[in-house]
Structure formats: C-alpha cells, structure tokens
Structure 1
Amino acid sequence: MQTPAIAFAASPTPKAQAAMEALTARYPAVPLDQAEVIVALGGDGFMLRTLHSVLKHGLPVYGMNAGSLGFLMNDYAENDLIERIQAAELVELHPLRMRAHCVDGSFTEALAINEVSLLRQTYQAAKLGIHVDGKERMSELVCDGILLATPAGSTAYNFSAHGPIVPIDSDILCLTPISAFRPRRWRGALLPHDARVEFHVAEPTERPVSATADNLEVRDVTRVEVQEDRNLALRLLYDPGHNLAERILAEQFEA
C-alpha cells in the first residue's frame, strides 16, 4: 500500500509542539496543498479547529491526543504511524450551518461540528421561541439557553447540560435546554437530522442573547436558523476498535 502524503498540524502547547517535532523527525511531511491526510496533534478543541480549517479541502484527519481532553483523538504514539493511518477506519460527520440575525440588522453564517448554542448575555433569563420546519413548537422557553447538537457533539456540552448521548451514525439532532425555568420540566427533544430549527429571541434588547457555533460567538441575536449541511462532510480516521462510535457507546456506561 502506498505511503500517504501527510501534513502535520499541532496546537501551540509545549506538549503538542514536542510531539510535532518528534513525529516530523521520523516521518516525511508535506504542505497542506499536497497532503492526502492530516495528522492533528492536540486535544479536542484543536481537533475542532483543524476540522473547521480543512473543511473545504475534504481531507481526512487522523488525530492523536497531545492535549488534556482527547475524546475525538486516537492515542498518541510515535511508532507505526503510517501503518496506523493505513489501517484506520473512516467516520464521516456533517456539520450544522447557523445563520444568526442580530439587533442591528446584520447576520452571520457559521458552521458547527459539535453544537449551536444560545446563551443569555446578562443576569436576566432568556425568553426563546422554538420553530421546527416552520411550525411553532414552543412559544416561550425561559432559560439560561438552549443548544442543538450533532451526534458527535452529543457527548460534549449537550451531555453536560443533561442531554442524551446518541450513536454517531444516527440521523438525529439533540435539542437540549440549559437551566430551563419555564416550562421547568421540559428536558428537550430528539429531532431528525434534516429538521430546520429556528430560535426566536423575545425582548432581545432587554434580555440579550448570544449564539455560538462551536467557538464562534455572535452577540445580540434576534433569530437563529440552524440546519444540518449534508453537502459538507468531515472525514475522521480512527484506529480499529477505538473509533468514535465505540467511544460514544462506552461513554454511556461511565460511572
């Protein structure tokens, strides 16, 4: 099997930079525009940034944990990197596309691999309306916020907000409230992957709300539209038996 052309990327932390130095001393590296695969060194945050940066290139990313959190990463090792890449299993993910409209009339579009979240900006609770596929499903949710998560993001902020973990290959999105005050007992919903979700912010100047697509924040929003973009595919590589589907399943049995 032909040796793949590898481009390396590393977070700026000392641990990741040391890993980068060790690996590039052992394996030939090429620029991104000549690469067939990217090896990302860091934690989950760096993996998300790498996936965002290479989204238009369509290149597969093989991550190795050289950070604090490594849910999206393979274990780090200097030996047998080529063999591990060649034997790796491919997982494809589709991001969410957010369009956030603001009080000043502007709008921002962004992609989210994990989730799109809305959060109150001040001490006052947010008041949100929820529409799914053009139909109002909830006229008023009083809360600290709400998020819409992909299966890959279901184990991240969504799970911390007491949302469900869903299998990586499920065509499901998780709609999860954050500290809901009214209706107090509402725990969210599971939506089909092609659902068009709109969040309407009531009293946006008195109760300002921000919208975040992964790590890109837009403040003072009035309306946020979110839908999965099936025209874009993120390609991740995992060691056999250590893939994302297995990790998501195992996460549900952690004490």
Structure 2
Amino acid sequence: MVDRHGHFALREAERGTTALRRILIFTHTGRQEAITAALETCALLNSAGAIPVMRRKDQAAMAEAIGAAVPSVQVLGEDCQIEDVDLGVVLGGDGSVLRAAELVRASPMPLVGVNLGHVGFLAEAERSELASTVQALVNETYTVEERMTIEVKVWLDNVCLAETWALNEAAVEKANRERMVEVVIEVDGRPISTFGCDGVVMATPTGSTAYSFSAGGPVVWPDVAALIMVPISAHALFAKPLVISPDSIMAVEMLTRTDAGAVLWCDGRRTIELPPGARVEVTRSDRPVYMARLHTTPFSERLVNKFELPITGWRGPAKEESRRPATTALPVIGPGLQSVDPHYRDEPGLPMVGKPESQG
C-alpha cells in the first residue's frame, strides 16, 4: 500500500494548506439511481467544505435529467484541471470504475468506487455508506494502493497494428459463434501449447475476479505480483490456467490454418479485430491505477462477502494466549512403524510391501 500523502504532498504545498479539496464525481448519467447518488454526493461535499467537480457532459446530462442546473459544481477542464483534483469517486458498478480508470490513468489521482451495481468487486463502499464515505474522503482518512495494469500490443507481419492497456484483462475471443479460433499460447518467447478454443484471457490480479474468474481462472490476491493466462473452452488435454511472473511476456498467436476471425477486448471497452496470423503481446505496465481504500478489510473477507461464500463451521486459529505446548513429547517415528519401499533392492519383481526398519 502507498500512503495517500506520499503522492500529493508536493501539490498540497503548492496549493497551500487552506485550499479546499476537490473531488471528481463519475456517475452513470443514464441511470436515475446514479443521478440521485451524484446529486447527494455533491450536496454532501459542499456541506463538508469540499468542492465537487464533474465533466461538462456529465453535468449537462444531469441538469437535463433533473430539469435544473447542478449547484456548486466545478467543471473539469474549465474551472479546474485534473492536476487540481485530489480524488475521484465513482458511483456505479465495476464497469463505471473501469471507465473512470481510463480517464484518469495519466494522473496519479486515486479512485474510490461506491457500488450501485451487483457484485461490485472494485467498489470500496456500498450505496448505504455514501455519507460516511464522503466524510472519509474529505477528512483524508484513507490509504491508497497500486493496482497493476498491463500493456497490450497487436502485431501482424512485424507491424504494430494497435497498442493499448487494461486494468482487468486483455481477452482474445472468437468473432463468430459457430467457429473456434486456433491459437498458440506463449510465455517469454517459448510456445506452451496450441489448440482450438473460444478464446484466451490474459489478466492482472485485479482482473482475476472478473472475466478470468468466469473462465475458470484462479483468484489472485491484489497485492500478488503476477500475470494470468486462462484459455476459454479449449479443445485440448492441456489447457490449464497459468500464473506467470510479472516480468514475463505473454502472447497469443492466431494460426493461419483456418480463416476464423477473432477480436481483442481490453476491459470490455477497447476492441480491435484480429486477422489470421495476428499476435497479441501482453506485459506488465509501469503505470498503475491507484485505488483508495477506506477499510482495512482483508481481501479474503471481501472475497467471502462479495461471492457470499459458505464459511459455516470455521473455528479459526487458536488465540496466542490460549496456545500451550504438549505435556508429553510425541515421537516422530515410534517402535513398530514401517517405511514402505516399492520393492526390496534384491527382489525387484516383488510388489510394494511394508519393510521393517530393522531390515534396512
């Protein structure tokens, strides 16, 4: 985790200690619930002595929805610049957080999500906690953690067709429902396997609970430095999820023995068609996304809560003050125990039997 003050100490000094905090509000202006939450957030920020900031098109969409101007809101790019904003609050689901990350990735501004969707794994708070969340943001009682992102490049005949990034995943998918794509998966310049499949997901630890999870990939704790590769519905004996070094290069090559088309999706937002022979390379990016944390809840507990996992019967570790040594020493190997060898050295044809230690 990175302390929030470490990122913004210089900017605070430049602006002065009496400067009001600016909070950028992202919301889904096509949903009434999100508009209501955004208006409430603006009112809470104003009451707490902070300045709500919105993009011009979001402010205009909200004004049209409510039939009146949104009061006491600064417009990003007109009244202030993104460098003047301290933090972004995202009102919506994980898709809204991904959209916001796309907009602020060039700056070190952290984001905090308030869940208005279903699972909302990227969200830090729920709609019912909006008032306390705003107060925590104004009082700066939060920490910031870095979330790994990936750089994605598409090549064809040694020409780079596209270059983009992702916070969750880069997913190669078949373009036509009725036809599989033929691919070779590769790590660090060495082929791993070739097969027909519906696609391949290349994800970050943050994305391990998103598309990668649905495709059967492992859940990876966010602070683990790793990359993940997960085949989707592969017709192969070996098509297991792979957890790879963060310094490795993952690649998926589209084979040319069929003309089946494919498409690359990054975070479900940025897309490019992949012709036969195309190659998608994924590496760790040196530009992370910053997420504000209001709670110190362990990731394991968040996992249980978000997926409503059954934990009935769990007793947990003994408390340190309750632990005590055994009253008698327990032997590691006691008399009469036998080790098991596949066979005696001088009788290799015998089946596996128990061999007394005294005959060693």
Instruction: Tell me which residue corresponds to 1:75.
Output: 126
- Pick from 4, 29, 40 the counterpart of residue 90 of structure 2: 40
How much has 1:50 moved relative to structure 2? 0.2
- Structure number with larger C-alpha Rg: 2
- What's the secondary structure of 1:87's corresponding residue? coil
- What's the secondary structure of 1:212's corresponding residue? strand
Using the alignment, how far apart are the partners of 1:130 and 1:6 within structure 2?
Answer: 43
Instruction: Tell me which residue corresponds to 1:233.
Output: 288
More helix by share: 2
8 Å contact from structure 1 (residues 115, 147) kept in 2: yes
Query: Where in structure 2 are the equivalents of 1:68-147 lying within 5 Å?
Result: 68-73=118-123, 74-76=125-127, 77-85=129-137, 86-101=140-155, 107-122=161-176, 123-138=178-193, 140-147=194-201
How much has 1:101 moved relative to structure 2? 2.9
Residue type at the aligned position of 1:9: F
- Pick from 21, 26, 32 the counterpart of residue 4 of structure 1: 21
- Pick from 280, 295, 301 the counterpart of residue 224 of structure 1: 280
8 Å contact from structure 2 (residues 250, 283) kept in 1: yes
Instruction: Tell me which residue corresponds to 1:55.
Output: 105
- C-alpha change, 1:4 and 1:80, in structure 2 (3 Å) is farther
Q: Which residues of structure 1 form unaligned runs of 5+? A: none
Number of residue pairs matched by the alignment = 251
RMSD: 2.3
Residue type at the aligned position of 1:193: P
How much has 1:204 moved relative to structure 2? 7.4
Using the alignment, how far apart are the partners of 2:95 and 2:306 within structure 1?
Answer: 18
Instruction: Tell me which residue corresponds to 1:200.
Output: 253
Instruction: Tell me which residue corresponds to 1:210.
Output: 263
Q: Which runs of 4+ in 1 moved over 6 A?
A: none
Instruction: Tell me which residue corresponds to 2:52.
Output: 29
8 Å contact from structure 1 (residues 5, 35) kept in 2: yes
- What's the secondary structure of 1:79's corresponding residue? helix
> What is the TM-score when the length of structure 2 is the normalising length?
0.64
The more displaced of 6-15 and 163-172 is 6-15
More strand by share: 1
How much has 1:66 moved relative to structure 2? 2.3
The more displaced of 202-211 and 9-18 is 202-211
How much has 1:87 moved relative to structure 2? 1.9
Using the alignment, how far apart are the partners of 2:118 and 2:110 within structure 1?
Answer: 23
- C-alpha change, 1:188 and 1:219, in structure 2 (3 Å) is same
- C-alpha change, 1:239 and 1:246, in structure 2 (3 Å) is farther
> What is the TM-score when the length of structure 1 is the normalising length?
0.89
Using the alignment, how far apart are the partners of 1:204 and 1:5 within structure 2?
Answer: 55
How much has 1:106 moved relative to structure 2? 6.2
How much has 1:37 moved relative to structure 2? 0.6
Instruction: Tell me which residue corresponds to 1:176.
Output: 230
How much has 1:97 moved relative to structure 2? 0.8
- C-alpha change, 1:165 and 1:197, in structure 2 (3 Å) is same
Identity of aligned residues (%): 25
- C-alpha change, 1:121 and 1:102, in structure 2 (3 Å) is farther
Using the alignment, how far apart are the partners of 1:180 and 1:245 within structure 2?
Answer: 30
Residue type at the aligned position of 2:294: D
- What's the secondary structure of 1:219's corresponding residue? strand
- More contact order relative to length (CA 8 Å, sep ≥ 6): 1
